[in-house]
Amino acid sequence: MDDDAARPGRLLELVRLFGKLGVIAFGGPAAHIAMTHDEVVSRRGWLDEQRFVDLIGVTNLIPGPNSTEVVMHVGRERAGVRGLVVAGTSFVLPAAAIVLVCAMLYVRYGQSPNGQALLYGVKPVVLAIIGQALLKLGRVALRGVLLWAIGVATIVGYLAGVSEILLLVLAALIVVAVRRGRSGTGTLAMAPLLALNGDQTLGLARLFGVFVKVGALLYGSGYVLLAFLRNDLVERLGVLTNQQLLDAIAVGQFTPGPVFTTATFIGYVIAGMPGAVIATIGIFLPSFCFVAAIGPLVDRIRSRAWTAALLDGVNAAAVGLMAGVMVQLASDALTDAVSIVLLLAAIVVLWRTRLNSAWLIAGGAVVGLVLGAAGQL
């Protein structure tokens, strides 16, 4: 990072880029990472392929929303600690604002908005964007037979339902063992659970505690988020119904940006605007802390033989997980001839032009909305 890394111009660049992605980044973490890669590696050259892959790898070592943490890492690389905060905030706030509007409509009218028509057109485009990123990331992360084997095994394991964390840990240990001729074990430091009791009321301080705990402990997908929140808010505290929780997760899935903005929706449903603010801050705050702590260690991890081997294993598994997610998305997104045509068109545009992926997302959304309005879906 050069001496003028934190100059205002760079901070403004981060606001513009990640504010835009916070509005148009549909498709979940794999898609967010692919779009970030396109913007910061392919288009702007802020990072090279190896550095970007390493940032994905270290992100998989900490809890929280992976794609948001990759954004924070990019911000730190570009403009120091201030860049970390600016990039993360710029990515989260637009998405949280969209979810907040959905929550207001939900509370007023009693039903969650339906984003199926929009997603119909967006999902095939997202598949093409993820595929392009995987080809570039795979060339860096999957060097040699061992790493290729780990990547393929990770895809198979993920699709078979094996825990993402277990796959990452096994990949890291296997590479370390093969390269160093010995295996090792490690422990994962976890923040202590915050005490909660079963009152039927939930103050803002306790609401904040619930979401800080989730942000500090959660690894994995939106389904894991569902389990965490159901245990605390439905079962233990009784301040949310199962249907409200499912509606909140659905809104988090079809709106752009991190699925953790589900917290904004739930906070508003439970405690209005103050609840939305408190819940959003609570669930994302640990990620800012984790990235600030681990960011300076990236160079040290890469410079030592055994930690570099560990990082290579995690990188290979991370690419495998992205590929597994793409396979799952394909089964959901490619439902008819029109969606397949959208995918093929997006692939052609990505490979033959340098059109920004934001325009592709917008085009897919328009196609979906038009077909929905015409009653074709």
| pLDDT one-digit tens code per residue, 150-204 | 999 999 998 898 877 788 889 989 998 988 774 444 433 333 223 343 343 468 9
CB 73 within 8 A of CB 59: yes
Instruction: Quick: pLDDT tens for 204-231.
Output: 999 999 999 989 888 755 556 777 788 8
**Residue whose tokens read 């903005």:** 261
What residue type is assigned to position 92 of the chain?
V
Q: What is the pLDDT averaged over residues 258-285? A: 93
Average pLDDT, the chain: 84
Angle in degrees, CA 221, 33, 99, rounded to 5 = 60
Neighbouring CB atoms inside 10 A of 111's CB total: 9
Full-model pTM? 0.78
Contacts 24+ apart (CB under 8 A), 203-209: 204/271, 204/274, 204/275, 204/278, 206/237, 207/267, 207/270, 207/271, 207/275, 207/278, 207/279, 207/282, 208/278, 208/279, 208/281, 208/282, 209/282
State the maximum Cα–Cα separation within the chain, in Å, rounded to a whole number. 63
Instruction: Quick: pLDDT tens for 290-335.
Output: 999 998 888 888 888 888 888 888 888 888 888 887 888 788 788 8
Nearest to 94, CA basis, from 240, 235, 258, 223: 258
Instruction: Quick: pLDDT tens for 79-117.
Output: 999 999 999 999 999 999 999 998 998 888 776 666 677
Indicate if the pLDDT at residue 74 is higher than 90.
Answer: yes
Indicate if the pLDDT at residue 3 is higher than 60.
Answer: no
Q: What are phi and psi for residue 110, nearest 5 degrees?
A: 80, 15
Using CA atoms, how far apart are residues 76 and 299, in angstroms rounded to an integer? 13
